[in-house]
Amino acid sequence: MDLYDVCIIGAGAAGMTAGIAASGYGSNVIIIDKNKKAGMKLYATGNGRCNLANSHMASCCYYDNQFALKILGEKPHLEVLDLMNKFGIKCIEKNGYYYPRSNQASSVVWALLDKLKENNCEIKLNTLVTDIKPEEDIYSISFEKGGCIKAKKVIYTGGGLSMPSLGAVDKKIADKILKSQNINIKSYRPILCPLITNVDDLHKELLNGVRVSAEVKIKNKNTGENVSEIGEVQFTDYGLSGIVIFNMSYYEFDKIKVDVLYDISRDDFIEQYRENSESLRSIYGFLNGFLNDKLALYILERYGKYSKKILLKDLNENDINDLYDFIKELSFTYKDNYGYDHSQATSGGVDVSELNENMEITRFKNMYAAGEAVDVVGKCGGYNLMWAFISGYKAGGAAIC
């Protein structure tokens, strides 16, 4: 039976960087993946452009997780850029976001594979790992179609449940592998995804496809904290989408406010009314001066007090003040998220309390976990790939020390 120094389960971003780090010193390393090719999800990252790092780093970039910040440090983007340079990938920066200069995720996958080949790291594809069993000083790794290998050390980088069409991990298999070792697993749920909200015929007719810059606000049910973020919101026939909505999908809440006048003060709104109050401008035209015409009509229909044809000269400042208040409090009732098929990341996985700073599972000597298999999730913008690259590389390096 084959005996390896290190067996890595999962050939995603974390698994491949772990493999590079572990095999760089002549160790006998194998990466096993159930998919037909390595880096399946990585190919699709950033709509195929691969947003692999971000220079903006703050505690809010990773959800409720000081462990991630401790592992990554203050400037993780520099570490990722250094790795990419070593792998032969030139990167470019746009507003703090880093991409391969080719603007192709495939460039990153191919560079990682080339480095693994250079290091003589074996990759075994189309092979589903179904069990890991400790046997004295080694681990036995079993496959679905029969057979097994043994390894002195194991790194689990099986990933999350998001995007099953791209080969996401099967929850039952992940649970069997990890829970069989009594490793504490945080519950899985899809995040970084669109939201399903209350949608009526008016919403479907007028708002579907409309995009607007807005401040999105929610109240976290678990902490009572008010959370807000500014960005582009896209209205859909099922609810809300857009990066700012994706970032809010991590939290539990009842209502989500979409302030489409976040950058317009009450004084500015009233002053604009005053300048047109004696004209033949309608309330609909007035709102269209601030908002998309369909959104303006939706607001008036939902407000229900005025016909879109009513003229500003027939209204007073109190009327305009009340309308301003209504717009600022525009909200939608949360029903559900859009599920794993449409989520970019998964919350849940190996509890960080199980891990030390080398990504080793402290209760199981020589077993490690990294990447999305760990309960660490960042916001949109390259944060999850930074975590995958750095945690994977750290685990791989620690495994051969």
Domain ranges of the chain: 3-191+346-399, 195-261+332-337, 266-324
- Report d(CA 124, CA 139) in Å as an integer: 17
Give the Cβ contact number of residue 279 at 10 Å.
12
Span 255-266, average pLDDT: 98
Look at residue 59 and tell me whether its pLDDT is greater than 90: no
Span 125-143, average pLDDT: 93
Are 340 and 164 in contact, with CB atoms under 8 Å apart?
yes
The pLDDT of residue 46 = 80
The pLDDT of residue 92 = 97
The pLDDT of residue 20 = 98
Q: Residue 33's closest CA among 122, 147, 140, 146?
A: 122
- Report d(CA 41, CA 48) in Å as an integer: 10
The pLDDT of residue 324 = 98
| Range in 63-77, 85-99, 174-188 with the lowest mean pLDDT | 174-188
3-state secondary structure of 157: coil
Q: Could you tell me the CA-to-CA distances from 115 to 19, 44, 103, 206, 388 in Å, in that order? A: 9, 21, 20, 52, 17
The pLDDT of residue 362 = 93
The pLDDT of residue 168 = 86
Which architecture characterizes domain 3-191+346-399 according to CATH? 3-Layer(bba) Sandwich (3.50)
Span 352-369, average pLDDT: 95
Look at residue 65 and tell me whether its pLDDT is greater than 80: no
Q: Residue 231's closest CA among 223, 222, 240, 239?
A: 240
**DSSP of 78-126:** HHHHHHHHHHT--EEEETTEEEETT--HHHHHHHHHHHHHHTT-EEE-S
Strand ranges (E), 194-307:
195-197, 211-219, 226-235, 239-241, 255-259
Name the token pair of 355: 């891990």
Q: Regarding predicted confidence, which is higher, 169 or 191?
A: 191
The pLDDT of residue 1 = 60
Mean pLDDT score of the chain, rounded to an integer?
A: 95
Residues 200-250: pLDDT tens digits? Answer: 888 999 999 999 999 999 999 999 999 999 999 999 999 999 999 999 999
- Report d(CA 170, CA 83) in Å as an integer: 30
The pLDDT of residue 167 = 84
Span 141-156, average pLDDT: 95
- Report d(CA 287, CA 315) in Å as an integer: 14
Each as own residue / partner, the long-range contacts of residues 312-316 (CB below 8 Å, 24 or more positions apart, any chain) are 312/273, 312/276, 312/277, 312/279, 312/281, 312/282, 312/283, 312/286, 313/277, 313/278, 313/279, 313/280, 315/273, 315/277, 315/283
The pLDDT of residue 124 = 97
The pLDDT of residue 354 = 96
DSSP 170: P
**DSSP of 25-55:** TS--EEEE-SSSSTTHHHHHTTTTT---EES
Look at residue 278 and tell me whether its pLDDT is greater than 90: no
The pLDDT of residue 171 = 83
